[in-house]
Amino acid sequence: MKKYIIISGLLLLVGCSNGLDTSQLSESQQGEDGLIKFYSAPSVEVAIDALPYEVNLPEQLPFETEGFKTLGITDFGGKGKNPEAQFMAIDEKENNLILSTTTAHREYPDSDPGEITLDNGYQAFYMVPNGLDIIVKHITYSYTLIMPQLEEKQIKEELMKLAEQISD
């Protein structure tokens, strides 16, 4: 009987992690049709914990910053099954990194991204001049790096360094 209760509890925990946990989020806006909901989180940690997937934020950034801030979570479909979270790191010199994470499939209708195999073995897609998407365990990490003092080649190198920090 004790084993049954423990197994049931574990299954309940796993079952609950299939959707967005809005218990610590504030709904900031809802689309007109109710299919898109926008949430704000009081911290990066709360935003990450609310997601039904694990997020690894890069620790080594190409500029000095106080760390990431959450820009919020968008729930496409409004049922917590397809959330997209956005995070941003910024410095005093107008350098910034925006990182968006989602389990949704990304399409590139207006661009032809360059496919890159990173040193960690993951496939990445580079979008000129400052974007890189990498898919890890069905999670798409979309990086946008804005550093006005760097040339496009240097931006691409920095994006690849950021993507190399993702682990399983």
Residue pLDDT tens, the chain, 168 long: 443 333 333 333 333 458 999 999 999 877 777 789 999 999 999 999 999 999 999 999 999 999 999 999 999 988 999 899 999 999 999 999 999 999 988 888 778 899 999 988 899 999 999 999 999 989 999 999 999 999 999 999 999 999 999 876
| 39, 41, 45, 46: CA torsion to nearest 10 | -80
What CA–CA distance (Å, rounded) separates 127 from 87? 19
Contact 83, 48 (CB under 8 A): no
Give the model's pLDDT for residue 6.
37
What residues pair up with 134 in beta bridges, in sequence order? Answer: 124, 141
* Nearest-angstrom CA–CA distance, 105 and 138: 9
CB contact set of 4 (below 8 Å; sequence gap of 6+): none
State pTM to two decimals.
0.85
Helix locations, the chain, DSSP H = 2-16, 44-50, 152-164
Task: State how far the Cα of 159 lies from the Cα of 168, in Å rounded to an integer.
Answer: 18
In a 10 Å sphere around its CB, with 0-12 CB exposed, 13-18 middle and 19+ buried, how is residue 92 labelled? exposed
